[in-house]
Amino acid sequence: MSGDSAKTALEDYFADLLREDDPAAQSQELSPKPSLAEHTPPAEISSQQVVPSAKLAPKVSPKPQAEVEIKPVQEKLEREKREQLQALLNTRPLQIKPRVETKIKTEVVVEPVVEKITETVLDDLHHVNQMLEWGENGRPMWAQGRFDALLFQVSGLTLAVPLIALGQIQPLTDELTPIFGQSDWFMGILPTPIGQIKTVNTALFVMPEKYNDSFLKTAKYVMTIDGLPWGLAVDSVNQPITLNTEDVNWRTQRTKRPWLAGTVKSAMCALIDIPQMGKLLSDSEKSRKPH
């Protein structure tokens, strides 16, 4: 099977998943892709952002209370993660300067930190819980307005994840430490400067029916989930793009595969609900621990 036909088969696979889980999608089949004569495909997605047309005035509707609370924080987090990602993509060799030791006599003041730590943990927990929620409009809280999404490749298939829900991107080395009694999609523990990352075989987790062992040789990076010690193994990572809520075909029924949020129309790829995937991974680990 050629590379193009394999990619098409995987795209059709995700389209079938959306139709299978959503009664509304079953009555509205995905429209065929436009021909070259009807539409000229945009430049590479990896270097382009999806920006709404300035000629069309957006429809103003009352914003949910949850959006008012989360939007300023989300915009700040997305900006920070964009800067971190750009720094990673533009990494250059560092020039290490000799360390100069200066002895300074200072008075040590010990302050209680228990209260500060407790507040930080509670804030992080509140943030994670907000990311898990879906609004009454059928969209996740991280997609109540414009949001950044990171495109990446797994076994030749392009997938997208909300940038705000990601932690860092680490190179995947051969230092993975296996753990007995784990799921088939558990690759092992990856030691990194930010701690030990429980690495997931993304190809096997997302599309077990189409899985090929060649992914174990092509995976080069691990994308960590913000606030959790879990990471997704991927082949390659592209530049982030900016999406509007109407740029996604959102799922209406999410009892099956809750990690599948919908389909990005312009990229014709699945949008992964990373907070929900992180919850599934954590719940799976808890269920395997002896009581």
Encode pLDDT of 223-264 as tens digits.
999 999 999 999 999 989 999 999 999 998 877 888 999 999
Reported as a single tens digit per residue, the pLDDT across 100-116 is: 444 445 454 545 544 44
Q: 212 pLDDT exceeds 60? A: yes
User: What one-character DSSP code corresponds to residue 41?
Assistant: P
Tell me whether residue 119 is exposed, middle or buried, using C-beta atoms within 10 angstroms of its C-beta: 0 to 12, 13 to 18, 19 or more.
exposed
Residue spans of alpha helices (H) in 142-273: 202-206, 215-218
- State the maximum Cα–Cα separation within the chain, in Å, rounded to a whole number: 75
What is residue 109's three-state secondary structure?
coil
Contact 149, 161 (CB under 8 A): yes
Beta-bridge mates of residue 169: 223
How much is the average pLDDT of 138-143? 89
Return the closest-CA partner of residue 14 out of 284, 277, 261: 261
Beta-bridge mates of residue 234: 221
Give the N- to C-terminal CA distance of the chain in Å, as an integer.
47
Nearest-angstrom CA–CA distance, 230 and 233:
10
Q: Give the distance from CA 137 to its chain's centroid.
A: 21
